[in-house]
Structure 1
Amino acid sequence: MKVTSFLTLLIVLLSQTIMACPVCEKQQPKITQGLTHGAGPQSNWDWVIIAVITVIAVLTLIYSVKYLIKPGEKNTQHIKQSILSN
């Protein structure tokens, strides 16, 4: 019960800090309004940087899930075998 209450409180508090304030919302382009604080991207290079970072983050997520689900290690002496056999 304590963990559930703590997580609920944490989510409520974080949701308020993540959302942009009204002043920041006016400075943001339409695509990022309400998501971030501060001024929006100032040039096209900023959008290129955001796109590259997004691609890297998505690829990292895909590969981490892929290797978590099916790591492909078949060696019986691999350390994961000692964990999986217990």
Structure 2
Amino acid sequence: MRKLSLIFFLFLIAQQVINACELCKENQPKALADITHGAGPSGTIDYIITWSAIIIVGLTLFYSVKYLLRPEKRDPDHIKNIVTHEYFR
């Protein structure tokens, strides 16, 4: 329980630190007003780059978890199966 409380407290503190300051809130578009510091996206190309990166990272995360949990190779000695051995559980 103590560990959970510490994680919650650190998460709460981190939220306050990463929120944008008042000046940055004014200079950001409405969608990003309280999220980020700095100049923010300046045009359509910036949004295309950002959303492309989000999609690539999301797909990478999905497939890495998918193939980690259920590797396609069924050979018990295959390197992908190292995480499913008894001593790693």
Measured against the shorter chain, the TM-score band is 0.7 to 0.9
Identity %: 37
Give the match for residue 15 of structure 1. Answer: 15
Give the match for residue 50 of structure 1. Answer: 50
CA RMSD of aligned residues (A): 2.1
Q: Distance in 1 between the 2:57 and 2:22 partners?
A: 28
Question: Tell me, which stretches of 5 or more residues in structure 1 are unaligned?
Answer: none
Question: Is 1:68 the counterpart of 2:68 in the alignment?
Answer: yes
Q: Distance in 1 between the 2:43 and 2:68 partners?
A: 38
Give the match for residue 78 of structure 2. Answer: 78
- What is the TM-score normalised by the length of structure 1? 0.79
Give the match for residue 37 of structure 1. Answer: 37
Question: Tell me, which stretches of 5 or more residues in structure 2 are unaligned?
Answer: none
Q: Distance in 2 between the 1:71 and 1:24 partners?
A: 45
- What is the TM-score normalised by the length of structure 2? 0.77
What is the count of residue pairs matched by the alignment?
Answer: 86
Moved over 6 A (4+): none
Q: Distance in 1 between the 2:5 and 2:30 partners?
A: 35
